[in-house]
Structure 1
Amino acid sequence: MTSVAGHPEKNIIRVQLKQNTVLKVLRDSELAALEPYLTIVDCNKGDVLLHQGIHEMEQYFVLDGILKRVVTSPTAKEMILRFAAERDIETSYAAWRLKTPTPYSIVSVTKSRVAKLQLPQWVKYIESHSQVKQAFEFEVMQLMSEIMAHTITLHLLNAPGRVHRFVRKHTDLFERLPKKELASYLNLSPETLSRLKNQGKI
């Protein structure tokens, strides 16, 4: 972990931060004011950024790679709620606001790089930057809506329908995701996903 300024690829990171779906509304001076609070983390596949059930929370901006939001049951059964790639955010803002433990983990699916800061620090920052606060809260609502739609899809659509919906909405991620992860997200076996692809039904 390192600061933006201390990172050997700081110029690339600054460009990536400016491209983030939430941070892109900031002026250069406003982004520069946020930069000292950010920590850059390089993750390997399987690294856990946020553990389910804790109260210490952080805000994440995805610079490279893919993360997943995953819920684990008491019997260790996992359900993937969403994926986040470059320019996306990950957060547990709703849980922080409600003063409840994190209801899910955030895990690196591939080799990834994120910029992060403590969630209370992020909230303090957006309280004084109304434009980014509005963009952030809209994005949080979008994510919640997306997860709800996905959960409904698992119940209402058959296997080909679930895959087609994912391809239509996330074409860029379809070839990049490990098939085991994608199959789990769609509540399919990897063999079923592979068969659908080989049969040309995707």
Structure 2
Amino acid sequence: MSSVASHPEKNIIRVQLKQNTVLKNLRDSEMAALEPYLTIVDCQKGECLLHQGIYDMEQYFILDGILKRAVTNQNAKEMILRFGAERDIETSYAAWRLKTPTPYSIVSVTKARVAKLSLPQWVLFIESHAEVKQAFEFEVMHLMSEIMAHTITLHLLNAPGRVHRFVRKHADLFERLPKKELASYLNLSPETLSRLKNQGKI
């Protein structure tokens, strides 16, 4: 972990931050004000950034790689709620606002790099930057809406339909995701996903 300023790839990181869906409209002076609070973290595949059930929460800006939001039941059965990649965010903002523990974990699916800061610090920043706050809260609502739509899809569409919907909405992630992770997200066995692909039904 390191600060942006001390990171050997700080110039690349600054470009990536400017491309983030929430940060892209920040003026240079505003980005300079946020930067000292950011920590750059390189994650290994399978590394957990945020554990389900805790109160100490952080805000993540994905610079490289893919993360997943996943919920686990008492029997350790996992349900993947969403994937996020470069330019996306990950957060537990709603839980923080409601003063409830995190309802899910955030885990790296591939090797990944994120910029993070504590949620209280992030909220302090957006409270004084109305345009960023609006973009952030819109993105939080968009992610929640996407997760709801995906949950409904699992019940209403058959296996090929679920795969087709994912390819249509997330073509950029389809070839990058480990097939085991994608199959789990779509509530399929890896064998079924592979068979659909081999039969040309995707």
Q: TM-score range by the shorter chain?
A: over 0.9
Query: Distance between the aligned counterparts of 1:134 and 1:153, measured in 2?
Result: 28
Superposition map of 1:98-117 within 5 A = 98-117=98-117
How many matched pairs? 202
Structure 1: distance between partners of 2:4 and 2:159: 43
SS in 2 for 1:187: coil
Give 1:173 deviation, angstroms. 0.1
TM-score by length of 2: 1.00
1:200 Cα deviation after fit: 0.2
Alpha-carbon displacement from aligned partner over 1:88-137 (angstroms, at most 9, x marks no partner) = 00000000000000000000000000000000000000000000000000
Q: Deviations over 1:116-167 (max 9, x none)?
A: 0000000000000000000000000000000000000000000000000000
Q: For 1:187-202, what aligned pairs fall within 5 Å after superposition?
A: 187-202=187-202
TM superposition score normalised by structure 1: 1.00
Structure 2 unmatched ranges of 5 or more: none
Q: Secondary structure at the match of 1:20?
A: coil
Q: Matches of residues 67-86 of structure 1 in structure 2 within 5 Å?
A: 67-86=67-86
Deviation per residue, 1:53-97 (Å, 9 max, x gap): 000000000000000000000010000000000000000000000
Q: In the alignment, residue 100 of structure 2 is paired with which amino acid? A: T
Instruction: Tell me what 1:132 maps to.
Output: 132
- Gaps of at least 5 residues in structure 1 are none
For residues 11-54 of structure 1, the C-alpha deviation after alignment (integer angstroms, 9 at most, x for no partner) is: 00000000000000100110110000000000000000000000
Give the residue type in structure 2 aligned to 1:33: A
User: Match of 1:90?
Assistant: 90
Amino acid of the structure 1 residue aligned with 2:41: V
Q: What is the percentage of aligned positions where both structures have the same residue?
A: 89
Instruction: State the alpha-carbon separation in 2 of the partners of residues 139 and 35 from structure 1.
Output: 21
Query: SS at the partner of 1:137?
Result: helix
d(CA) in 2 for partners of 1:136 and 1:28? 18
Superposition CA RMSD, Å: 0.2
Structure 1 segment 141-156 matched on structure 2, within 5 A? 141-156=141-156
Q: Which runs of 4+ in 1 moved over 2 A?
A: none
Matches within 5 A, 1:24-63: 24-63=24-63
